[in-house]
Amino acid sequence: MEPRATRQLTFHGAVVTLVGLLAGIPYAMVATERMPGSERAWRFAHAGNILGGLVLIAVAGVADRLDLVPARRSLLVWSLVLGAYADALGIVAAATFDVRGLIPGGSLAKHRGVRAARVRRGRRARRRGVAGARGTRPAG
């Protein structure tokens, strides 16, 4: 791989690693209870971003052994870089807003949509006088 691609991977790996190191500040504040938040989320933001940056630096270290045409080399480099930044942004956003992407029952938006649909269904059932709908009495 050309030296420019190696420099790009190394630079962006260092930036993502720096984001991980900076995420250690809120992690320490949450761990010492000086700031509210999820210790688990900030620990992951700290360690996950450091490791993500180190992956870019590790790939930069072996990049000269890859025999790729320029278009594929560029695709590889920018895929790794953009993926690392997207991962870093998502991890820090999840810790900041204290949410998880994979929660049982789906996201909050999905939960609200399902709840609204159930309310509408219940209202329709009550209007039709269906037995067993909330707020109605069985005929008899």
Query: Residue 98's pLDDT is what?
Result: 86
Q: 3-class secondary structure for the chain? A: CCHHHHHHHHHHHHHHHHHHHHCHHHHHHHHCCCCCCCHHHHHHHHHHHHHHHHHHHHHHHHHHHCCCCHHHHHHHHHHHHHHHHHHHHHHHHHHHHCCCCCCCCCCHHHHHHHHHHHHHHHHHHHHHCCCCCCCCCCCC
How far is 128 from 88, CA to CA, in rounded Å? 52
Going residue by residue through the chain, which has 140 residues, state the pLDDT in tens, using 9 for 90 and above. 678 899 999 999 999 999 999 999 999 999 999 999 999 999 999 999 999 999 999 999 998 888 889 899 999 999 999 999 999 999 999 999 888 766 665 555 555 555 566 666 666 666 777 655 555 455 55
Whether this model's pTM surpasses 0.75 = no
Q: Are 85 and 12 in contact (CB under 8 A)?
A: yes
- Domain range summary for the chain, segments of one domain joined by +: 3-101, 103-140
